[in-house]
A and B are shown apart, each in its own frame.
Chain A
Amino acid sequence: MNCPGNFEWSLFLDNELPPAKKEEMEEHLDRCRDCRLLADSLQEENRFIGAALAATPLPLNLEEFIRHRLRSKSRAEIRWLFILIPAAALTGILAVSAAGLWSLLENVFFFAIMLAGGTLFTEAALIIAGLLRQAALASLSGELALPALMVIVFCLTWIKIRLRKGGPAHA
């Protein structure tokens, strides 16, 4: 048997040869010092490549990073709640308006704002309340486009905010 080349010794070391061929090469290895040296050095290279790759530095807190991603993904599973709740609230407001209780609700709301004092938050709340009221009035007059549009805009905004807050990047 002629001396096998690098490629064959690689296959031999990777244990990828048919049994008969493998046996033949093992016998050759016993007889040929050159091939013993070659096979040894190839094996040492394999080991060294493996060790170098296994020592590839990891980022700090890799596990914690992954766990965090899993948790935010779990929260994303209940995202629909955040769509359902505002939708239910809107329906409630529409129902209240239909029963003619809107002005009562409005007075309670403004009284609360007076107590709390004017801030950016209450300003924003006022604007939202005004929009809701318009939506309610529109739906009372049989015009459903505005309320529907508001719900859609709300849902889209919500999802956009969720994604920006580090939701799954490649989901």
Chain B
Amino acid sequence: MGKSVLQTGPPAPDRKAVADLINSHSPDVYRLALYLLRSGEEARDAAADIFVKIYANPGIIPEDHFRAWLMKVSYNHCQDILRKKSSFKRLLPKIYTRITRSPEPTPEQAVLEADEQSGVRQAVARLPDQDRAIVFLRYYQQLSYAEISAVLDIPEATVGTRLHRAREKLKKDLTGEKGGAL
């Protein structure tokens, strides 16, 4: 952390802890944002803003269920962005499509995407909003159904059925397109 940081708010150790969190958790936050927002640029921006939020108020970091908490903060932030976007889209549909048209992938990205796992990632990205989050939180973040229900604010029993439904969709999507098993 630079020396120029003005120590207003909480004491330094907390903020140092947030700086360490960036090292360990920024990939998780970015990837969740990527699957929710489906734009690399926006996901990077969102990840930065999520850490700014935490940095401004390190006292909100809980001692237990840290991973689930971080995912909830990130999920809520992305939902806010999506809400803003959808109202914008409703008001100015033409301008919306023009400015949100995603740029061509860079050559490096294309190479990385060409491996066998990319099919799964693309299939996940094609799932409906909440299903993407559930699959991500369960199989990548390894959260329990109870934790996922807290992140998404849905009943715990719903998590299991949604997850199952999402799995079926993934399978259908992948086998339908490539004619092979998942």
Which A residues lie at the B interface, using CB under 8 A?
Answer: 6-7, 10-11, 14-16, 41, 45-46, 48-59, 62-63, 65-71, 73-75, 77-78, 168-171
Contacts and interface: CB of A to CB of B under 8 A. Distances in A.
Main secondary structure on chain B at its contact with chain A? helix
A59 B44 contact: yes
11 contacts: A7-B161, A14-B138, A14-B160, A16-B145, A50-B140, A53-B136, A55-B121, A59-B30, A66-B51, A74-B5, A77-B6
A129 B140 CA distance: 61
Contacts of B181: 41
Nearest to B53: A171
A17 to B, nearest CB: 10
Interface string B1-36: 010111010000000000100110011001100110
Contacts of B161: 7
Contacts, number: 122
Interface residues of B, number: 54
B121 A16 contact: no
B51 A54 contact: no
B84 to A, nearest CB: 8
Contacts of A14: 138, 144-145, 160, 163
Given A56-B34, A56-B121, A74-B6, A169 B49 contact: yes
Contacts of B121: 52-53, 55-56
A169 B27 contact: no
